[in-house]
Amino acid sequence: MAHTLDLSVKSAAPALVNLTGLTRDGLMQALVESGVVEPRKAKMRATQIWRWMHHYGFTDFDLMTDIGKEQRALFKEKFTLARPEIIERQVSNDGTRKYLIRMAPGIEVESVYIPSVGRAGALCVSSQVGCTLNCTFCHTGTQKLVRNLTAAEIIAQVQIARDDLGEWPSPSEDRQLSNIVFMGMGEPLYNLDNVSDAIDIISDNEGIAISRRRITVSTSGVAPELQALGNRTQAMLAISLHATNDDLRDEIVPLNKKYNIEQLMDAIRNYPGISNARRVTFEYVMLKGVNDTPAEARALIRLLKGIPAKINLIPFNPWPGTDYQCSSWSAIETFAAILNKAGYASPIRTPRGRDILAACGQLKSESEKKRASVVRREQREEAASIQDNLPAGESLPFAHLAGGMID
Ligand code: SAH
Ligand code: SF4
């Protein structure tokens, strides 16, 4: 897509291919093309390596005991299984864990693990560094640096959370990490090839084995890509709606000027696999005086008529420099009560990770210039002062990920 700019650093030495981002077919092909594995043995070797990487979480070829020593040495010359560097790990009082990961020089992303969301706990992953879409209430949209993450970089976020939670080999029950949500930095549908490969890898039964039903992709509404998303990933769909008429949505989600609400709703109705058992989640950020009246709650119900839907009301997370405020608690409750009456259960999200500014994608663009640690200290101070000035119960970093929005 022409929307993204690849700023990856090119180095003189050829980079080793990271096998963790390859689908099964891609892995077989890479093994054969490397000349190390004969075509007739490719499937067997790929299956062995797959299990070591994705079931056991190994990063070292030497631990792969069913592969001969000489072949392991050749693999090391051509391939890598290495994780990227974790620059910072923060744990909130409520158990939320935030990781700041350096994928490459200048390419830093956040991912966040939230306990007690979904079946056991959800990991919010990023799909891009920054975002080209500039929704007016979103901090990620203000970040300048944009490139798509590779499938390996998306998988690395899952592996790092699993490393930290001690969940290798991949447990078949009692998992802490049960759900994946693409709700971190970036627009996943502008990186569909890599998101789709990553979902194939995450959902594979002989590896990380998180079912497609527990993987949710959130989009701001790239209507023409919804069909492909459903066909290629069978993931659960979340739509960042935030407004019920085109005038307002044009303003706060500028992509609406390209694909308006009617086009978006049509595409959603045709989303593959949609049913009462597989409902679409509609995200709706509560912005004081912007989109939070009872009339808008009623308009939302009219708009969703006939679509198997759940609604996720998100208290706005303030960030330094924003003019928006979170709706008052009573406005949110009134809005929610109208939805409840129409049959949409408990849609308000509870706050998570507030003490560590765990809202996805809140790295400031200045982090390109300043030392990241200084930026983060400033962010924490500013976040604390924003939180201190809010009425009780309002404005909650990471609200968009918490509490029951995913089954
Ligand atoms: N780009 C995708 C996914 C990432 S954003 C999308 O827009 O859907 C994940 C969710 O967080 C979206 O619903 C987004 O609208 C919401 N969001 C972004 N900034 C927010 C903020 N400051 N407060 C509350 N929700 C926010
Ligand atoms: Fe991008 Fe989503 Fe933020 Fe909009 S809300 S700027 S699409 S990350």
- Residue 97 contacts residue 156 (beta carbons within 8 Å): no
Distance 299 CA to ligand 1 centre (A): 21
Distance 138 CA to ligand 1 centre (A): 6
Looking at the fold, whether 69 and 162 belong to one and the same domain comes out as no
Q: Is 393 inside any structural domain?
A: yes
CA 203/CA 188 separation, integer angstroms: 17
Give pTM, 2 decimals. Answer: 0.88
The whole-number pLDDT of residue 323 equals 94
The whole-number pLDDT of residue 94 equals 85
The CATH number of residue 341's host domain is 3.20.20.70
Looking at the fold, whether 51 and 112 belong to one and the same domain comes out as no
Looking at the fold, whether 53 and 138 belong to one and the same domain comes out as no
Q: Is 66 inside any structural domain?
A: yes
DSSP secondary structure letters along 114-172: EETSSSSEEEE--SEES-SS--TT-SGGG----EEPPHHHHHHHHHHHHHHHT--S--S
Is residue 220 within 6 Å of ligand 2 at its C-beta?
A: yes
pLDDT less than 50: residues of the chain: 1-11, 360-376, 378-407
Count of CB atoms situated within 10 Å of the CB of 359: 27
Q: Is 9 inside any structural domain?
A: no
Looking at the fold, whether 344 and 311 belong to one and the same domain comes out as yes
Looking at the fold, whether 76 and 93 belong to one and the same domain comes out as no
- Residue 230 contacts residue 273 (beta carbons within 8 Å): yes
Looking at the fold, whether 128 and 198 belong to one and the same domain comes out as yes
Q: Is 321 inside any structural domain?
A: yes
Q: Is 6 inside any structural domain?
A: no
What is the domain count for the chain? 2
Q: Is 201 inside any structural domain?
A: yes
Looking at the fold, whether 100 and 36 belong to one and the same domain comes out as no
Looking at the fold, whether 76 and 142 belong to one and the same domain comes out as no
Looking at the fold, whether 251 and 302 belong to one and the same domain comes out as yes
The CATH number of residue 39's host domain is 1.10.150.530
Domain boundary among 80, 104, 132: 80
- Residue 220 contacts residue 240 (beta carbons within 8 Å): yes
Looking at the fold, whether 65 and 213 belong to one and the same domain comes out as no
Tell me which residues are annotated as active site.
Answer: 110, 360
Domain boundary among 80, 108, 123: 80
Range of the domain at 26: 17-80
The whole-number pLDDT of residue 103 equals 94
Residue in 135, 185, 362 to alter for ligand 2 test, most ligand atoms within 8 A of Cβ: 135
Beta strands in 105-204 (DSSP E): 107-115, 121-124, 128-129, 147-148, 179-182
Q: Is 10 inside any structural domain?
A: no
Looking at the fold, whether 98 and 65 belong to one and the same domain comes out as no
Q: In the structure, which protein residues have their CB atom closer than 6 angstroms to any atom of ligand 1?
A: 131, 135, 137-139, 183, 187, 218-220, 240, 283, 285, 314, 316-317, 319, 400
In this structure, which residue's CA is closest to atom 20 in ligand 1? 138
Domain boundary among 26, 52, 80: 80
Q: Is 1 inside any structural domain?
A: no
- Residue 163 contacts residue 53 (beta carbons within 8 Å): no
Looking at the fold, whether 56 and 152 belong to one and the same domain comes out as no
